[in-house]
Amino acid sequence: MATKRVKSKVCVGSSDDSEVEPISKPDKKKRGTTQAQKVSNPAKKAKKDSDSDDDSSNGNSWSLSAKRFVTINSFRGKMMVDIREHYLDENGEQKPGKKGISLSLDQWEKLKEFIPQIDAKLAS
């Protein structure tokens, strides 16, 4: 049986060329997200929205200014104090931005120890 190759197709045929049938190679998988992956999971989004609502309604968030907030939340099972700027998304909802810092409880306690010294330097 004779085999002929073409750039993107493989032709398989017998000794008689009139019966040659092209066989397509399988397409290589493209990297990146597929259309199915791009569709957001409504349950996941609802959970995320409810988590952010819980912070403010349960007293876990305090406003420092119009766009800056202190929030207590859990990250990888550890409690964190988050001081962060927020922004308005295209729907007009306030979301946490990139500018900010998350402090572990140890770091938070250390920062509180420095407050009298910082106040003294600011007063002088």
* Tens digit of pLDDT at every position of the chain (124 positions): 566 665 555 555 555 555 555 565 555 555 555 554 544 444 444 444 444 444 555 678 999 999 999 999 999 999 999 999 999 999 999 999 999 999 999 999 999 999 999 999 999 9
Task: Look at the chain and count its residues.
Answer: 124
Tokens describing residue 121? 């330097």
Closest alpha carbon to 104 in 66, 68, 86, 77: 77
